[in-house]
Amino acid sequence: MASVLRGTIDFLKDFGLFDVILPFLFIFAIIFAILEKTMILGKEKDLPKKNLNSIVALVIALIFVSANKLVNMLTDALPNIALMIVISVSFLMMLGVFWKTEEFDFKTNEKNWYRLFSVVAFIALILIFLGAYEVTPGTSLLSQWIDSIGSGRLNDIISGVVILGVIVGLLIYVTRRPSGGNS
């Protein structure tokens, strides 16, 4: 027997709440917040700046929603990201139980663990999005990479990563500022 709430969720799904409206609001809010925080399009005292930020955020969000593949990737990835956040908060609460009774500041008190935690969370985030990006229907980029590693194409992947690393390293070396003296 289906509940009334399940019928409501199905109605909202058919209405496009999860495929159009929520991704639109999510992208709009993120882009608008970034534009407001960075002040790329103008300073805070300018009145038209907020209007300009909202127009740019609106356009980007509408373009994003029109790309079905991106919306599908976002709706596949966000539940896993939310799960990762719940696991992280649970881990931090567990640490807080065993810490002193003072304010818990993981970033300041445990810098090395904080860095490791941040790197692991970033890698998990990348893996979540690679798992949500479908190359072909039913096949994610992550599963394709795992299959290629299992089939012996690991050398191609490693050589590609090494070449990309060398190129990025050369770009950083060429564009860095010289230390000391006048530039």
Task: Please indicate whether residue 101 or residue 51 has the higher confidence score (pLDDT).
Answer: 51
Q: Nearest Cα to 128, choosing from 87, 166, 99?
A: 87
Across 4-23, average pLDDT: 85
Segment 107-135, tens digit of pLDDT: 777 788 888 888 888 999 998 988 888 88
The DSSP secondary-structure symbol of 20 reads I
Across 171-177, average pLDDT: 82
What are the start-end ranges of the H helices in 99-140? Answer: 106-109, 111-132
Centre a 10 Å sphere on the Cβ of residue 127 and count the other Cβ atoms it contains: 14
Q: Supply the pLDDT for residue 27.
A: 93
Segment 40-87, tens digit of pLDDT: 877 766 555 778 888 999 999 999 999 888 888 888 899 999 999 999
Q: What is the pTM of this model?
A: 0.63
The CA distances from residue 93 to 85, 87, 90, 96, 106, in Å, are 12, 10, 5, 5, 11
